[in-house]
Every structure is written in C-alpha cells, then in structure tokens.
Amino acid sequence: MQRVRILGTGGTIAGEAASETASRYRSAEIGVGPLIAAVPGVRSLAILHGEQFSQTGSQDMSDILWCSLAARINALFNAGEADGVVVTHGTDTAEETGYFLHLCIDSRNPVVLTGAMRPANSLSADGPLNLYNAVAVAADRNAHGRGVIVVINDDLHCARDVTKGNTTDVHAFVSPGPGLLGTASFGKVRYFRTPSRCHTADSEFLMDNMTRLPRVDILYAYTGMSTDCVRDSVSNGARGIVVAGLGNGNVPISIAHALADAAASGVIVVRSTRVGSGEVARGIEVDDDALGFVAADQLNPQKSRVLLQLCLAHGKDRSAIQDAFYRY
C-alpha cells in the first residue's frame, strides 16, 4: 500500500457548527486525527499518517505558511517518508495555495488539496467523501506527474486551472477553459487529461530556502476607478501590481497612465481580468510594449499574483516574466 501523509491546515472541512442545520459555524476547529477517523474505509486505501500543519481559515493563509508548507512536502518526499500527500484546506484560497504548490513541489508524486463547503458536523457534510476521494488520488500511481490536484465534490481539478465559482454551493469549484482533470466516485478515479503547462518537478520555482515572497498587490478595475490605489501600492512598496482588468484586461486611460508610470519605475504590472474565464492577450486594446505591461494569458488575478511573486523572488525581468506567464 502507498503511504499517504495528510496535512491538516484548517478550513470548513475542519469546521464545527452549533447544530447539524446551523449555517453559522467556525472553521478550523477539528484536528486532522478526528477528520480521518470520521471517514469510513479510508484506511483501506493507503497507509495513512495525519499531521497538523496549521489550524486556520484559509482567508488567513500567508506567503509564510505557503513557503513552509511547500518545504514540508518537499522534505517528506526527499526523505522518502510519503508516496503521496493530501492537504486539507479551506476553500476560500485553495486555488492560490494549490497553484503555489503546483509551482514549488519538486516531485512527481501526487499532491492533493481537498476541503469542504459544509462543516464537519453538518447534515450531509461533504468533507468525509472529499477526503476519501483525495486519499484515493494521492495513493494512485496514475496521479504521478499530473501536478497538484484539487479533489472536491467528486471532481479532479488541475491546481492551475481551478477557481472557486460559488460562495456556498457544494459544487463550488470550476476549471473554466481547460475543464476537469478527471473525476472520482467513491475512490474510483478517472483521468481525462494531463496538464500541458510546466509544473512541480519541471518547474524552476523550487524555493525551500525562502520564507517570504515579495509584495504584489491586486487592483480591481471598475468604471470610474481612481488612480489613488496605484499610487498607494507603489508608495507602500509593492514590487508588482496585478490588475483585475475589464474584459481583455482593459483599464480606464487614467489608470493605464498611472500603471505605465509604475512600470517605468520598475514595478512589474500584469494585466489579468475580472471576467472569470478567457485569456488576456498582449496588445489588443492596450499597447503593452509601449506601456511596459505583462499580459496574464490564462491566469486569473489571484493566480497571476502567485506566479508574479515567484518570478520576482527569482529575480526575473519583465520579458522573462512575460515568458513565464506563457509557460506556467
């Protein structure tokens, strides 16, 4: 049997409500041991070992926790202590942590993120089956080389492509564009595809010695947006700005000028989109060459921020960063 380490980080999967039907609850209350014990039959899938990595709602994840989580998983694989890893995680920022790990794990072994939309003691809690399926994927040799996989609601998503698309629905996660990586039904796993972009063992962003990431802000574009936020970001030390732009990464003309000034001062400006799906291409309505911008290609703003932080941590210049957005 494969050895699967389950790293608990908190979230709703470890949440507790006042009653089985209460919608109000506290996330990150239950330890990883009881979470595993609540999943019937899961120990028949793999040799399991639970480890409490942190206990937090994922809105409180940080670059410090990301770096130490990646270092912990790399250490487990390097020491040969696990064949696969499951991370239980809050759903709010699972897409960011997942993409960070997708770029920073130096192994082809499976790394799976899972979570839940309902607290552990709710009527029809979704956590136990999600954890069961996650362990099945982490113990599956066919999962090797597919990068970090988010397993939730019977679906397998590539960590690069997945995003939270609903605030409360059990079917909260979608992978717009590329679609699902596969499905899992009571531990029976099927794959539809393999990620085509660079990840994990092929990634250049291995950073076990790093404990912090450079500051990158996300600015949300809207009708009548003020340039104040651009100036605030720059004067407060942001080394990068990601714009959640309009449509194909557009911004009002005053913002374009303010961002061009930021870019001229050495801040890396990435144009992403607030739309939720589709690509942001160079030079459509915005002259990226003249203004000194990077186009996010397929990454949403929060994933663009992760990649930009890693690029800045590795000292890449603007053209190398644009190249990274096409390769990762």
Tokens of 149: 């996989």
- Supply the minimum distance, in Å, between the C-beta of residue 6 and ligand GLU: 16
**Are the CB atoms for 327 and 299 separated by under 8 Å?**
no
Q: Out of 12, 93, 97, 163, which one is annotated catalytic?
A: 12
Number of residues that bind ligand GLU (CB under 6 A): 12
25 or 191: CB nearest ligand GLU = 25
Per CB under 6 A, the list member of 30, 35, 58, 297 interacting with ligand GLU is: 58
Per CB under 6 A, the list member of 4, 6, 7, 11 interacting with ligand GLU is: 11
> In the sheet where 293-295 sits, what is the strand order?
216-220, 240-245, 268-273, 293-295
What's the DSSP call for residue 28? S
Q: Does 166 bind ligand GLU (CB under 6 A)?
A: no
Residue with tokens 């400006």: 269
Secondary structure percentages of the chain, helix, strand, coil, to 5 = 35, 25, 45
Per CB under 6 A, the list member of 30, 42, 50, 57 interacting with ligand GLU is: 57
d(CA 157, CA 64): 25
Give the burial class of 194: count Cβ atoms within 10 A of its Cβ; 0-12 exposed, 13-18 middle, 19 or more buried. exposed
Residue ranges in 114-153 that form contacts with ligand GLU under rule CB under 6 A:
115, 117
Per CB under 6 A, the list member of 12, 133, 163, 300 interacting with ligand GLU is: 12
Per CB under 6 A, the list member of 4, 27, 100, 268 interacting with ligand GLU is: 27
Span near ligand GLU by CB under 6 A; candidates 5-13, 64-72, 75-83, 143-151:
5-13
Active site residue 12: yes
Which residues are within 8 A (CB) of 37 and not within 5 positions of it... i.e. 6 or more apart? none
Strand 3-10 relative to strand 240-245: parallel, antiparallel, unpaired?
A: unpaired
- Supply the minimum distance, in Å, between the C-beta of residue 90 and ligand GLU: 2
- Supply the minimum distance, in Å, between the C-beta of residue 309 and ligand GLU: 20
Per CB under 6 A, the list member of 92, 106, 140, 217 interacting with ligand GLU is: 92
Residue ranges in 101-120 that form contacts with ligand GLU under rule CB under 6 A:
115, 117
- Ranked by CB distance to ligand GLU, the top (closest) residue is 90
- Supply the minimum distance, in Å, between the C-beta of residue 27 and ligand GLU: 4
Span near ligand GLU by CB under 6 A; candidates 87-95, 100-108, 183-191, 278-286:
87-95
- Supply the minimum distance, in Å, between the C-beta of residue 100 and ligand GLU: 15
Residue ranges in 182-221 that form contacts with ligand GLU under rule CB under 6 A:
none
Per CB under 6 A, the list member of 8, 50, 84, 90 interacting with ligand GLU is: 90
d(CA 216, CA 44): 44
**Are the CB atoms for 131 and 223 separated by under 8 Å?**
no
Q: How many CB atoms lie within 10 A of CB 51?
A: 14
CA nearest 153: which of 182, 120, 121? 182
Query: Would you say the C-alpha torsion 78, 83, 88, 91 has a positive or negative sign?
Result: positive
- Chain residues binding ligand GLU by CB under 6 A are 10-12, 27, 57-59, 90-92, 115, 117
What residues are annotated to the active site? 12
